[in-house]
Structure 1
Amino acid sequence: MLHQAVDVNCDLGEGFGHWSLGETPDIDLLPLISSANIATGFHAGDPTRMDYTVQHATRLGIGLGAHPGYRDLVGFGRRFLDARADELVNDVLYQLGALSEFAGRHGGSLQHVKLHGALYMHAAADEDFATLLIDTLRRVRPDLYVYCMAGSALHRAAEASGHPAVREFYADRDYGRDGSIVFRRQIAAPDPLALADKVVRACRDGMVTTVDGEDIPIAFDSICFHSDTPGALAIGRTIRASLQRHGIRIAPLMDVVHPRTPEDKE
């Protein structure tokens, strides 16, 4: 078995004011995960929602992550916006700072940053933005893990500079031949059992089946499912139960990426 323990992350806090995206309240998803990616106001999220999500995640001992996106509330950050790399890095830093203050308010601190939607995909492909973002984080937050796709521009930039990176496996997204995620219009809620089998196979064998029916190797440290995927609660519960049934522990990120020694635990 390749993975005896994995981090499980989910994008949370993705509403605005009276509006919420997804059918499941975040409070029901939090006990299923070990790391939370919390929307920081540009694609979704508002100060009160950020505070609420941070408070409950901290209470449960869940790793706190900022989930910055394009400045695009109307499009939920899923549209590409043509902006210079330095502008985008400034937007990310602005959003990091906002969530960091709420984390401190509740006695916590940020564990990681995971870009959202179209900005995540832009960082996966654009070398200039990926490099500038990593170079900036090396100066201001060298301890902050960056979630990314294995082999992406952001992953390569992090590896080149020695910045801590976490490779993701997407339970509820499809894969292409190059190992990148691809998007297809979701007509109905996916089958939770099928997604759980996909996750367990990736953990045990390091393989995933692409949209073309080809099996490819996949390397990862964390499993992601999305709160706005139809049936997210059933997906999260089924994945968690299936992992446990196969002896795969859902663990804090620090135990997965840097397992603690007995001396660390004393």
Structure 2
Amino acid sequence: MPVIDLNADLGESFGRWTLGDDAALIEVISSANVACGFHAGDPSVLRRSCELAADAGVAIGAQVAYRDLAGFGRRFIDVAPGELRDDVLYQLGALEAFARVAGSRVGYLKPHGALYHAVVANEGQAEALVDAVRTYDPTLAVLGLPGSLLLKHAAAVGLRAVPEAFADRQYTADGGLLDRSRPGAVLTDPARIADQVRRLVSGEGVVADDGTVVAVAAESICVHGDTPGAVEIARTVRSRITASGGSIQAFTNPAA
């Protein structure tokens, strides 16, 4: 019976602006990718997110990003590797403080938005993230796209590299994600999402935008917290995983 992690983005509100229903989402997932203040989240939001995760027994991950609040971290920034490394260390340290006072800890790192896509093939930026994790805490796992330079470099230096798949995103024929500017890039139909999850859990592969079937091997499945209807989508995904004979458990759990 496959054991799989269900992760989602949390802590993306800021000040008086609220994004997503973190309190409801935390009850469905096993790992929370918490914003670290660069693309979203303020100190109070980060603290509340860590408290929610700790109280629910959900693993906490640092969702690091470019320093881009205005663009929600979805614009590529050609940051020098050394500067990017320090930005990531800064974000890890900030979230770790709130995780600790909540009685938990940061267990993994996942890049967000444009940074997530950049470290698929950008050598310098992928190495910068890996260097930040390795020097900060080599016990942290790194979550990313299967086949990405990020995961390859992480594994090469002895970090745990965890591949993930997406329940609510359209894949392309090369195993990447369809650009958000393209129609159909974000899946919102529960039936379509349920079928994609079934295919992921069963190992059938996902249907790409051109109709081809793409193999995607993953230890974790992601639901975006800012997708419309995210909580219901997450519940659909959880139900589909269990209906397909799988069980849900954080990949940071030693028993996983």
Q: Distance in 1 between matches of 2:59 and 2:190?
A: 24
1:93 matched to 2:84? The reply is no
1:52 matched to 2:48? The reply is yes
The amino acid that maps onto 1:211 is D
Q: Distance in 1 between matches of 2:176 and 2:71?
A: 22
- Residue 248 of structure 1 is matched in structure 2 by 246
Q: Distance in 2 between matches of 1:9 and 1:26?
A: 12
Normalising by structure 2, we get a TM-score of: 0.94
Match of 1:163 among 151, 159, 165: 159
The amino acid that maps onto 2:137 is R
- Residue 220 of structure 1 is matched in structure 2 by 218
The change in CA–CA distance for 1:188 and 1:120 in structure 2 (over 3 A counts) is closer
Q: Distance in 2 between matches of 1:247 and 1:119?
A: 34
Percent identity between the aligned chains? 44
Q: String of CA shifts for 1:162-209, please: whole Å, max 9, x gaps.
A: 211110101111111111112234599711121011111111124111
* Structure 1 unmatched runs, 5+: 261-266
1:39 matched to 2:27? The reply is no
Superposed, 1:195-234 pairs within 5 Å as: 195-234=193-232
Q: String of CA shifts for 1:76-121, please: whole Å, max 9, x gaps.
A: 1111112201111111110110000001101111111111101111
The amino acid that maps onto 1:124 is V
* Structure 2 unmatched runs, 5+: none
Q: Distance in 2 between matches of 1:187 and 1:213?
A: 14
Q: How much does 1:218 deviate? A: 1.0
1:62 matched to 2:58? The reply is yes
Q: How much does 1:234 deviate? A: 1.5
- Residue 108 of structure 1 is matched in structure 2 by 104
Q: Distance in 2 between matches of 1:119 and 1:17?
A: 24
Match of 1:179 among 146, 162, 175: 175
Q: Distance in 2 between matches of 1:71 and 1:123?
A: 16
CA contact (8 A) 1:206 1:219 kept: no
- Residue 18 of structure 2 is matched in structure 1 by 20
Q: How much does 1:49 deviate? A: 0.5
The amino acid that maps onto 1:192 is P
Normalising by structure 1, we get a TM-score of: 0.91
Q: Distance in 1 between matches of 2:142 and 2:230?
A: 24
Q: How much does 1:135 deviate? A: 2.8
1:80 matched to 2:81? The reply is no
Q: Name which of structure 1's ranges 28-37 and 83-92 shifts more when overlaid on structure 2.
A: 83-92
Q: How much does 1:133 deviate? A: 2.3
Q: How much does 1:159 deviate? A: 2.0
Q: Distance in 2 between matches of 1:189 and 1:34?
A: 21
CA contact (8 A) 1:189 1:231 kept: no
The amino acid that maps onto 1:217 is A
Q: Distance in 2 between matches of 1:5 and 1:159?
A: 21
The change in CA–CA distance for 1:18 and 1:186 in structure 2 (over 3 A counts) is farther
CA contact (8 A) 1:188 1:230 kept: no
